[in-house]
């Protein structure tokens, strides 16, 4: 008769969501032939009573406990009670915290869930960058309704570089070129004026920029794109649209992208720190 082996049970106890401990348990169990392990996650543990309840339940099974607790008091209690009940337990984060404290010679912050918060910040930044690419240069006007801010301006007013810079600050930015021959999309008039920022520029500065752009493309600087009359027409049209919307404007003539971006951030947050400043 073949001996039936019991599937081990592992209680994953954490003061956050318990994802770190679960990954370690899964990676470890995969090193054994069957790799089977029943996981029972107990997240957001913040008191000793919960820990005691888990251990009293765990002692009735063929089990172990893997835990990530940053609070030294809770970790100490977990170590004591698992020894008392003779439950196999592994402190996944404690030894690493102790080692870091010795090397860095300062105490840890002892805040649960910081890794998850960092991950959320990272993914929000990625999401914002993807948004900026998707709704760049008026590709899809529906992005205007979803954006934290929409940038308006004629060609070569740094709309795209600004969008990408602000995306790295976790801002969802759409940008729209203003061309006299193209009527602005209706979405532009469906959002509050404070969520739109107009980029204006000195016509002579724009003339220089456009001439340089034509050179890089191997085209003649006399093209209509860099013609002063054409530039003045575009700027007058852009000013008309911006006044109609009632949006704030920023003169980008002699500003670096970083400087303009900071001014936009200041305008959005009203002088107060928020999630966009990261």
160 appears as a binding residue in the annotation = yes
238 plus 161 within the same structural domain:
yes
The verdict on 166 and 264 lying in the same domain is yes
Confirm whether residue 153 is marked as ligand binding.
yes
- Of 67 and 114, more confident: 67
202 and 88 fall within a common domain: no
154 is in an annotated binding site: yes
Is 215 annotated to bind a ligand? Reply is no
Query: In 249-269, which positions are buried (b, 16+ CB within 10 angstroms) versus exposed (e)?
Result: bbebeebeeeebbbbbbeebe
Q: Which of 12, 32, 15 is nearest to 24 (CA)?
A: 12
**How does residue 272 score in pLDDT terms, banded at 50, 70 and 90?**
very low
Is 157 annotated as a binding-site member? yes
Is residue 276 included in any domain, yes or no? no
Residue 124 counted as an annotated binding residue: no
Residues 124 and 107 in one domain: no
Q: What is the tally of structural domains in the chain?
A: 2
Q: Are residues 154 and 246 in the same domain?
A: yes
Of 72, 92, 112, the position where a domain reaches its end is: 112
Co-location of 161 and 216 in the same domain: yes
| pLDDT at res. 114 | 55
Same domain, 27 and 145: no
Furthest C-alpha separation in the chain: 96
Residue 25's domain comprises 9-112
- Could you give the C-alpha distances from 220 to 81, 203, 260, in angstroms and in order? 81, 19, 30
**Each residue's pLDDT tens digit, 8-67:** 788 999 888 788 888 888 888 888 766 677 888 888 888 999 999 999 988 887 788 998
Higher local confidence (pLDDT), 148 or 125: 148
Residue 2 lies in a domain: no
| 158/249 Cα distance (integer angstroms) | 14
Residue 180 φ/ψ, nearest 5 degrees: -55, -35
Residue 57 and residue 187 in one domain: no
- Pair (33, 75) in one structural domain: yes
For residue 41, the cross-strand partners are 12
232 & 160 share domain: yes
In which band, very low, low, confident or very high, does the pLDDT at 259 lie, cut at 50, 70 and 90? Answer: very high
> Is 106 annotated as a binding-site member?
no
Structure tokens at 23: 């990954």
Q: What is the CATH number of the domain that holds 90?
A: 3.40.50
Predicted confidence (pLDDT) per residue in 172-207, tens digit = 999 999 999 999 999 999 999 999 999 999 999 999
Verify that 188 and 255 share a domain, yes or no.
yes
The residue from 112, 143, 170 where one domain ends is 112
pLDDT, tens digit, for every residue of 135-163? 999 999 999 999 999 999 999 999 999 99
Q: Are residues 216 and 265 in the same domain?
A: yes
The residue from 90, 112, 134 where one domain ends is 112
Contact between 169 and 265 (Cβ < 8 Å):
yes
């Amino acid at each position: 008769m073949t001996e039936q082996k019991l599937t081990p049970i592992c209680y994953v106890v954490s003061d956050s969501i318990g994802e770190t401990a679960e990954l370690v348990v899964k990676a470890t169990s995969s090193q054994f032939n069957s790799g089977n392990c029943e996981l029972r996650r107990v997240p957001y543990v913040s008191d000793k009573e919960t820990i005691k309840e888990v251990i009293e339940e765990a002692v009735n099974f063929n089990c172990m406990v893997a835990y990530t607790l940053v609070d030294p008091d809770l970790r100490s209690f977990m170590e004591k009670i698992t020894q008392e009940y003779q439950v196999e337990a592994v402190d996944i984060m404690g030894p690493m915290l102790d080692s870091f404290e010795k090397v860095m010679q300062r105490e840890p912050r002892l805040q649960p869930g910081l890794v998850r918060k960092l991950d959320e910040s990272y993914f929000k930044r990625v999401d914002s960058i993807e948004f900026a690419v998707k709704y760049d240069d008026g590709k899809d006007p529906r992005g205007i309704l979803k954006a934290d801010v929409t940038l308006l301006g004629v060609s070569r007013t740094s709309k795209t570089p600004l969008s990408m810079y602000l995306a790295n600050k976790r801002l969802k930015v759409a940008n729209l070129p203003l061309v006299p021959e193209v009527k602005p999309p209706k979405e532009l008039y469906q959002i509050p004026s404070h969520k739109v920022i107009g980029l204006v520029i000195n016509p002579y500065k724009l003339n220089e920029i456009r001439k340089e752009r034509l050179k890089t493309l191997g085209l003649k600087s006399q093209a209509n794109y860099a013609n002063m009359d054409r530039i003045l027409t575009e700027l007058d049209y852009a000013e008309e649209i911006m006044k109609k919307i009632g949006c704030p404007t920023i003169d980008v003539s002699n500003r670096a992208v970083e400087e303009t971006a900071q001014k936009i951030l200041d305008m959005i947050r009203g002088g107060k720190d928020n999630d966009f400043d990261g």
